[in-house]
Amino acid sequence: MKTKIIVIVGPTAVGKTALSLDLAQLFEAEIISGDSQQVYRGLDIGTAKVSPEEQALIPHHLIDVREISESYSAHDFVTEARRAIETISQRGKLVIIAGGTGLYLQSLLEGYHLGGQAPHQEVLAYRKDLEKLSDQLLFEMVEEARIEIKQINRRRAIRALELARFGQDLSNQKPAYEALVIGLNDERSQLYERINQRVDQMVEAGLVAEAKWLYERAPKAQATRGIGYKELFPYFEGEVTLEQAIEQIKQNTRRFAKRQLTWFKNRMQVDFYQLSDPTYREKIIQEVKGFLHD
């Protein structure tokens, strides 16, 4: 029997952390972070990391597991998330994964083989070419390649063509989990307003000092690529004003939220709930209950 897990996805600032904490308390769960930046020690404000009080309330995993000078990949996430899921499940607890890094979550849920870096880059390049094509052209390519796909859709067609081109080296491992993927979304204007408010709150909480700390210690590290940090580097170098840097953070975060939604809608099977629905939490709780008792 596959291990059942709950996965909460959605754009940044939509409320994934709050929902994960609510569900964890209701269903005796532990939480795994599905965020590529929260792995870094010392990057707390800009990554909207759960507070020490929240971590004390509910055990969290894959937070503060890397130094800012270290790298982190989808392969690292899948390996460490699988280990955490096994440990949590052995304690008889439900696993909740909450985060917005789509590639990491998809790789875990679909069992992607994440071997050598060179073939992986080739696959990404080929995938980008396929994504430019219409559904009709993709389906015709699948038919010409004599690939049989039940209930064909765009995502399955692209994956099948990748396998046909690159062979068994890219074969997925059989997914080990039965996942209920819950998506949160909101009206775009409301989401963007929430993003702007969050950035202002981060600045008030000390984001500039945190970014300066990162800038002085590891200015070229992978950790500096996160939104909320890289935009402040030109300010430290005297190239822009603080106000301009903050506005750039807000703009880049809004764009990132849009890309996140596109990823989850096109690449993963997600049931989305709208925050504008006053009953969305109750509906989610009922869905989780049904999923766990099915």
| Consecutive 10-residue averages of pLDDT for the chain (294 residues) | 95 97 98 97 98 95 97 88 96 97 87 51 76 85 75 83 63 74 97 98 98 96 94 98 98 95 88 96 98 92
CA atoms within 13 A on the CB side of 276: 7
Block residue for tokens 């439900």: 94
Is 234 marked as binding a ligand?
Answer: no
> Would you state the pLDDT for residue 121?
62
Site of tokens 């690529």: 225
Q: How far apart (Å, rounded) are the C-alpha atoms in residues 42 and 211?
A: 10
- Angle, to 10 degrees, between the axis of helix 207-217 and the axis of helix 188-205? 70
CA distances from 12 to 61, 67, 99, 199 (A): 19, 23, 9, 11
Which has the closest alpha carbon to 176: 81, 49, 59, 73?
Answer: 81
- Does 15 count as an annotated binding residue? yes
> Quick one: pLDDT at residue 112?
62
Whole-number pLDDT of residue 196: 98
Whether residue 10 is annotated as binding a ligand: the answer is yes
Compute φ and ψ for 68, nearest 5 degrees: -65, -20
Find out whether 278 is annotated in a ligand binding site: no
Whether residue 249 contacts residue 228, with contact meaning beta carbons closer than 8 Å, is answered with yes
At residue 138, the pLDDT reads 84
**Structural tokens at position 49:** 């990391």
Strand partners, 181: 7
180 close to 23: Cβ distance less than 8 angstroms: no
Residue 118's CB is within 10 A of a number of other CB atoms, namely 8
Q: Supply the pLDDT for residue 118.
A: 39
**How would you label 194-208 residue by residue, b for 16+ Cβ within 10 Å and e otherwise?**
bbbebbeebbeeebb
Q: What's the pLDDT at 135? A: 86
Q: Is 101 annotated as a binding residue?
A: no
Was 253 annotated as part of a binding site?
no
Residue 75 backbone zone (phi > 0: left; psi -120 to 50: alpha; other: beta): alpha
Give the model's pLDDT for residue 166.
Answer: 63
CA 261 to chain centre: 10
11 is in an annotated binding site: yes
42 is in an annotated binding site: no
Rounded Cα distance, 6 and 179, in Å = 6
